Amino acid sequence: MMSKSSPVNFLCVILLASAANSCEISSFSNVSVTVVGVLGIDKVSGCLEPIGLLEKVSFVQIINQSVPVLYRGAVKDLPNLADLILENSGVSSLEPG
């Protein structure tokens, strides 16, 4: 006999799935950005991945912000991203991936 799933169980599955997709180490911490392709995004934390409005982003510019390390998965799977510009942001290390 199949048991019915409660809304709480369903929510837990969604939360676990979204946590599994997020980056392991955050490269961005409340970093000011300029984006093209969506409205309403001016700061990012964590990583740049296709969650919510970021899925439609085609251009990301980060200037004069503190981003010393781009960790693995810092920018991933953005289907429309054509340009990513990091300028004067103190990047000293790029990890593979």
Output 2 or 56, whichever has higher pLDDT: 56
Quick: pLDDT tens for 23-77.
889 999 999 999 999 999 999 999 999 988 899 999 999 999 999 999 999 999 9
Domain assignment of residue 5, yes or no: no
pTM equals 0.72
Domain assignment of residue 45, yes or no: yes
Domain assignment of residue 8, yes or no: no
Output 17 or 83, whichever has higher pLDDT: 83
Structurally, the chain folds into a number of domains equal to: 1
d(CA 74, CA 88): 18
Domain that includes residue 73, residue range? 23-94
Residues 6+ apart with CB under 8 A from 42: 32, 33, 34
Residues 6+ apart with CB under 8 A from 49: 21, 22, 23, 73, 75, 76, 77, 78
Residues 6+ apart with CB under 8 A from 91: 67, 68, 69, 70
